[in-house]
Amino acid sequence: MDMQAHGVDLYMTVGIPRALLYYYYYPMWATFFKELGADVVVSRETNKGLLDQGVRLAVDEACMPVKVFFGHVASLLDSADRIFVPRLVSVERRAFICPKFMGLPDMIRAAMPADGRLIDPCIDLSKNEREFHSEIMRTGSIFTRSRVAIHKAYQKSKVVLRRFKDLLVAGNMPESAISLSLAGHDGAYEGYTGEFGEVAAANQDAILSGPDDTISVGILGHPYLIYDSYASMSILSRLRDAGCRVITCDMLPDEVVEKEAQNLPRWLFWTLGRRILGAAFHFLHSRSVDGCLHITAFGCGLDSIVGELIEREAKRSGDIPLMSITLDEHTGEAGVVTRVEAFMDMLRRRKSA
Ligand code: SF4
């Protein structure tokens, strides 16, 4: 990259942990840093060593996804100059992310020698975008003094995010949507005309219309739990290998999820919880799947409330089987596999009957 042409003053490697909201925002973050001339490295996929290290470093009370995040950050200490650990408060108006996300930079600094190396903008879109924009400028100023270059990098990163979201709704899992959205990083996305949006719209017919001969399972859960193969014990690929069609909350258009979430008597101001509930209500009311699987994190307060609301709705709606699986670092794989297989058998029997 021509550093001068991009108004870039300082070259460095930025590490992005493959955990938590990586599954929703990595293409945006990576584009922003790359456009500012940084080299971006992502931590490797979660494995036992990484989780064990996270468990050692994090406080006992933390949920498994936070412990996984600690392991990913620690693994980047040797390979990156700076590590991106945003203080995530809110990603939309009038709603918030789990409080654990707000304290991430502080918890990381207390647990490992990362002080002075974290890039930790406060992302809070709950009220307006002005302060968020200042945080973008502050973050970009780590790399360059050019406000124009920072602004351009941010605008490009937003286009890539739009492309990524369309790819998810088009039926892609995050890892392939990430690769596709970042392909042609040297400018292809500047002219993004929404072609994946058209694929997404076509795909919705299959997703929203209801089961055919294939067994469809609606997957409910936090992205960092359901898409992390190690943490989720590969439940999604096991279902696919068994011939199931897997439909996650993220394959549903925002409008569908939001409309269903409005059936709640009160506005649920937790973004992730509202998304899971909206998707669950859609699956249960439209009967567009043969069964629902809710994957939760042990000790997650949000999951216990959302889980209860989903169970009540499943009983009320009556016809769609629901199973919950709670995971933490002590969960035995054999038990999970047996339950998933039994659930699949039950769905198959119901379908053939
Ligand atoms: S929402 Fe639940 S699983 Fe996610 S970080 Fe918070 S406590 Fe952990």
pLDDT band, very low/low/confident/very high, at 35 (cuts 50, 70, 90)? very high
Ligand 1 environment, Cβ below 6 A: 63, 65-66, 98, 100, 222, 272, 297, 300, 302-303
Minimum-distance ligand 1 atom for the alpha carbon of 97: 1
Is 72 found in the same domain as 22? yes
> Which of the two residues, 280 and 192, has the higher pLDDT score?
280
CA 304 / ligand 1 centre spacing (Å):
11
CA 247 / ligand 1 centre spacing (Å):
22
pLDDT digits (tens, 9 = 90+) for 237-256: 999 999 999 999 999 988 99
Is 37 found in the same domain as 145? yes
Is 223 found in the same domain as 81? no
CA 293 / ligand 1 centre spacing (Å):
18
pLDDT digits (tens, 9 = 90+) for 168-209: 988 889 999 999 888 865 544 455 656 666 666 666 666 666
Our mutation pick for probing the ligand 1 site, out of 228, 277, 302, counting the most ligand atoms within 8 A of Cβ, is 302
The verdict on residue 1 lying in a domain is no
What's the domain range around 324?
210-352
pLDDT of residue 20: 97
Total number of domains in the chain: 2
pLDDT value at 79 more than 90: yes
The verdict on residue 128 lying in a domain is yes
- Taking CA atoms only, the protein residue closest to ligand 1 atom 7 is 300
SS (H, E, C) the chain: CCCCCCCCCCCCEEEECCCCCHHHHHHHHHHHHHHCCCEEEECCCCCHHHHHHHHHHCCCCCCHHHHHHHHHHHHHCCCCCEEECCEEEECECCEECCHHHHCHHHHHHHHCCCCCCEECCEEECCCCCHHHHHHHHHHHCCCCCCHHHHHHHHHHHHHHHHHHHHHHHCCCCHHHHHHHHHCCCCCHHHHCCCHHHHHHHHHHHHHHHCCCCCCEEEEECCHHHHCCCCCCCCHHHHHHHCCCEEEEHHHCCHHHHHHHHCCCCCCCCEHHHHHHHHHHHHHHHHCCCCEEEEEEECCCHHHHHHHHHHHHHHHHHCCCCEEEEEECCCCCHHHHHHHHHHHHHHHHHHHHC
CA 188 / ligand 1 centre spacing (Å):
36
62: domain CATH number? Answer: 3.40.50.11890
